[in-house]
Amino acid sequence: MNKIAYNPRWLAGLALAVALGMASCRSGYEVARVEGSRVAMDSTWDVHPSAEALALLAPYKAGVDSMMQQVLGTSAMSMDRYRPESPLSNLVADVLRQAATDVLGKPADMGLVNIGGIRNSLTQGPITMATAYELLPFENSLCVLTLKGDVLRQLFENIAGNMGEGVSGVRLQISRDGRLLDATIGGKPLDENRTYTVATIDYLAEGNDGMRALPLAESRICPPGATLRSLFIAYVERLEKSGQAVAARIEGRVTLKD
C-alpha cells in the first residue's frame, strides 16, 4: 500500500490551527491573528537576569561548577590544533590509537581524528573537567575499523585532500595541492595486500569530513560508552597517577612538500 508523505511544517501548522480553533470554541473567542518572530538569545539577557530564575538554578549551578572545576591532571605545555600537523591533534590521535587496546588487545595500527572535532586549545597548567568538555564537546565515540591496504591508501589520499588531520602511527607526505606523495605505517611502506586497524571516531567512520574510505572498512567495532572525551579524561588521570604531565610535539607525521 502506498504511503502518503506529509510536509512536517504543514502538519505542525494544521495542529496549531486545530488547537487554536478548539480553544476558541471553548472560550467563545475567535483567533483574529497569529504572529511569530525570532528572539536572539545572546548576552543582552544577562544585563537584567531574573532573580527568581537565578535562585531556582543556584543549587544545580553549584553542583555543575564543582564537578567542572575538578582537576584531572596537568599539561606540561600549551598546545593548539592546526593543519597539516599539530601537537594537540597528535595527542588526541594517540589517545584513540591506544584506546583500541581494549578492543584488539594492542594499539591500533593507526589513530585518526579530524581537526574540526577538537574545539579548543589546551593551555599549560591544570587540566580540569571543564577543559575536557571545552576541548572535546561532542559525544563522538571510539570506533575500531579493519581496512584493506588499498582502502587505507584511499584514506591517506582523503587526509591529503584535507591538507592533514590528526594521525598516529603513520607518516604522510603530501603536496601543497593536496596529493598524497608518500606514506608509511608503523615505520614501514604501506602493503596493499594486508589489512590494518584504524582507531577513529564514529563521525568519521560514517565517511564524514571527507573520510570517504572509512565506510569501506571490512569490519567495525564501536564499544558502548567509549566517548572520545571519556578516553581523554581517563588518559589524563592515568598520567596524573603516575606523576606525569600531558605532553605532545610535532614529529613529522604529516609534512608538506613543494
- Domain extent listing, the chain: 8-38, 73-257
Cβ neighbours of 85 (radius 10 Å) = 24
Pick the CATH number of 73-257 from 3.40.640.10, 3.90.780.10, 3.20.20.140, 2.30.29.30: 3.90.780.10
Q: Average pLDDT over the chain, rounded to whole?
A: 90
What are the distances in angstroms from CA 43 to CA 57, 61, 133? 18, 18, 22
pLDDT at 137: 96
In whole angstroms, give the CA distance from residue 14 to residue 10.
6
- Residue 3 pLDDT exceeds 70: no
Q: Which of 2-6, 28-32, 227-231 has the lowest mean pLDDT?
A: 2-6
- Residue 136 pLDDT exceeds 80: yes
Q: Which amino acid is it at 213?
A: A
- Residue 11 pLDDT exceeds 90: no
Q: Determine the average pLDDT of the residues in 109-133.
A: 97
Going by pLDDT thresholds of 50, 70 and 90, the confidence category of residue 6 is very low
Q: Between β-strands 166-168 and 170-175, what pairing exists: parallel, antiparallel or unpaired? A: unpaired
Q: Determine the average pLDDT of the residues in 99-116.
A: 97
- Residue 43 pLDDT exceeds 70: yes
pLDDT at 1: 38
140: Cβ contacts below 8 Å, ≥ 6 apart:
117, 201, 202, 203, 227, 228, 229
pLDDT at 61: 80
Does this model's pTM top 0.75? My answer is yes
pLDDT at 104: 97
Which triple of cell numbers denotes residue 246? 600531558
User: Per residue in 164-223, pLDDT tens?
Assistant: 999 999 999 999 999 999 999 999 999 999 999 999 999 999 999 999 999 999 999 999
